[in-house]
Structure 1
């Protein structure tokens, strides 16, 4: 899906005294102002108004119209994200984690990967310092201290670019984020995808910790305890506005069902003993265990520490691997051989 908006940045560069110049050629200043701020949708603008503005800016009419992609998946190559809670262009992602669960490392990895796709990466420095921020700062093209500095960065470095922005929850609670996203300068980005973090860990306990979100990445303490990273809770992480194609949707649901059943059986038989698992339950348990292992993944930014090369898996291969895991094609492979790999190598 796409929506359209006025290329305000181009207009103001070409016509510094826009409202005055618009009035001189018979356009109502209020109309032009409302088109620039989005109060009047571009789709409702008269053709003659757009033509007049294009003549003022000495450009083509189509140059004045920017399209915004909605519901478009940004492929990260990170298996657990691309399968269960895809990143949505122009969306807002909320990360729900307590300290030490790897949320900042995951964001640093996303920054690293998407910089290869020519995304600009911005970090509005959190008000609370955290030693784990170092990797994220290393992968940020720009680090700002205030909202005003961030808006200036949009104008100076991000005009017409796809942008990833990390903001701390403190800026959400204070209302600064809402004001920033409403500012005209934020609309100069081709796309602006926002990540909201909470370094205090309090957001986990709130019903609506960040307000409306397109995507939730919730972190799982059990995965952290077992050192299964990225520690995304696949049962509670999701993307609301990304329409999976029907076969992918069915596969995602089946994978979720398998992992939910695996979690239930793990809790139930941890005390009784896994040797008491019925045959049918044993099959579900083992496939869930393999899928859980497969969803772990080495990160590029962690190579110096883990000595494992980073791995990326394209969505087509990811869905093929998951399908084969669920149908028993890899029942002969022990779960520990699927831990921290990329795609599954076929014989």
Structure 2
């Protein structure tokens, strides 16, 4: 610990100016962590963001600045904000500065890793071309995800981003033998609580049988946690929720990424890591708040002028190296459903696959509300996914595109005025559109329908049957919220029998 100290000169919300006076008292470098001992005995961590004049550092606080006053002593920690590493963080909940927030034993902080790391060298990178199957029909068929790729879920408020990311955690993380890191950036605390309970119930985070039995009775007794079992957990959660100051929300994405990088690079044979970030827009939003408080001139739509470089610094670190891979799934809020807004638009360029959720599709009652024509994937290529998959996906997109073009005519003249060929397009497109929906495991308590995982081969078979007209006789309602095509046929027969 350095004996260099400064004093608080001014406090403006989460921004604190610290003066380092006296001979030999050098102003700390940018991104250095500083520590204040509050009058009540608790510590507050600051991060140096700007140098003002010869001896003043302008800093951003990682917690609320309530209770601070001018003249309080500030210690220079001589290092950036850092998080603990190693096997000890498995199954744990951390905050932005790497402190445990799960009320379990404190972590050993001897071996820390800075949250500010350079991106891997160009010659260390690898490109993933292997499909990551999710069991969600619309994703696996039309915008397949790649292992070691970056995936973005775009959507406005309340269209189902968090439910989709929870389902992906359910389908991928539970069957994944590698390691998962979930980073909550400026989202609801309740969702973090739900996720922790789900992770414990599914066995991804191992709190032990005694604790799980208590959980079923509605108890939360941390004395029952089995420490040996906890060390075998396959996930770590890092949270900086929406009640935190902007400094914490800005840096928590880097803290979560640092944990993921550490597991990717660990030892000679690193791991395949899954990194879930919900929500990357809140990272940008926090950056905008901090930027304004630091006095920078805002750029387009009021965002920070450093938007592209901040996003680039984060996204370029989320990558796969020869040692191990990071597959990231990022939820991205779209302000006012406008995909051209600078925040989502800046994120687009970094992604391998984009899943766009559309409010118009939620209005049809189709969930997940994925827009099949807006969503894209780098690996939807016949050389990677195979001819059959590629041709089926393109045929489904063409069918839905043709249906979209016909909708104006239908709205004005009605379906009866269409040619026979166009009527057939509408007939099959409506079935294909509804077959893209499916019930989710994580939404069982809301829908009352049992969640399903659909193998890729079954998804392709089902859509080929719809395209070839093999299921034309069944009502379109039979294709809504079912798993495989066999389920749809069974439901269709039942509906026809009821009508007769």
- Name the TM-score, length of structure 1 as normaliser: 0.73
The counterpart of 2:157, out of the listed 87, 99, 106, is 99
Q: Deviations over 1:177-229 (max 9, x none)?
A: 64456669996983211223333626623373303211111112211111200
Pick aligned residue for 1:161 from 255, 266, 271: 271
Alpha-carbon separation, structure 2, partners of 1:130 and 1:311: 27
Which of 410, 425, 433 matches 1:284? 425
Relative to total residues, which structure has the larger strand share, 1 or 2? Answer: 2
What's the offset of the Cα at 1:130? 7.5
Alignment equivalent of 1:226, drawn from 346, 364, 371: 364
Report the equivalent of 1:24: none
Q: Could you give the per-residue CA deviations for residues 265-294 of structure 1, whole angstroms, max 9, x where no partner exists? A: 233202322232221111000100000111
- The answer as to 2:336 corresponding to 1:199 is no
Q: Larger helix proportion, structure 1 or 2?
A: 1
Check 1:143–1:324 CA distance in 2 against 1; reply closer, same or farther (3 A cut).
same
Q: Identify the match of residue 147 of structure 2 among 80, 83, 89.
A: 89
**Cα separation, partners in 2 of 1:133 and 1:282, compared to 1, 3 Å:** farther
1:171 is aligned to 2:278: no
Gaps of 5+ in 2: 1-85, 87-117, 200-234, 241-251, 285-306, 491-500
Counterpart of 2:475? 334
Q: Deviations over 1:225-275 (max 9, x none)?
A: 112001111011010134331222121111100011122223320232223
Alignment partners' CA distance in 1, 2:411 and 2:319: 55
Would you say the 8 A contact 2:356–2:374 is kept in 1?
yes
Alignment RMSD, CA only? 3.2
Shift of residue 121, structure 1, vs aligned partner: 3.0
2:396 counterpart of 1:262: no
CA 1:219/1:191 → structure 2, altered by over 3 Å: closer, same or farther? Answer: same
Is the Cα–Cα contact under 8 Å of residues 106 and 230 in structure 1 kept in the other structure? yes
Match of 1:247 in 2: 388
239 and 218 in structure 1: CA distance in 2 versus 1, 3 angstrom threshold: same
Deviation by residue 1:146-180 (Cα, 9 ceiling, x = unmatched): 24532553367665333222331343647556445
Separation in 2, partners of 1:189, 1:150: 19
Instruction: Answer whether contact 1:72 1:242 (CA < 8 A) is retained.
Output: no
Q: Does the C-alpha gap of structure 1 residues 37 and 194 become closer, same or farther in structure 2, counting only changes over 3 Å?
A: closer
Counterpart selection for 1:123 from 179, 182, 186: 182
Cα distance in 2 between the residues matched to 1:212 and 1:104? 21
Structure exhibiting the larger radius of gyration computed from Cα positions: 2
TM-score by length of 2: 0.52
The answer to whether the 8 A contact 1:154-1:185 is kept is no
Q: Secondary structure at the match of 1:301?
A: helix
Q: Which residue of structure 2 aligns with residue 46 of structure 1?
A: none
Alpha-carbon separation, structure 2, partners of 1:97 and 1:134 = 23
Other-structure match for 1:52: none
Q: Secondary structure at the match of 2:140?
A: helix
Give the structure 2 partner of residue 209 of structure 1: 346
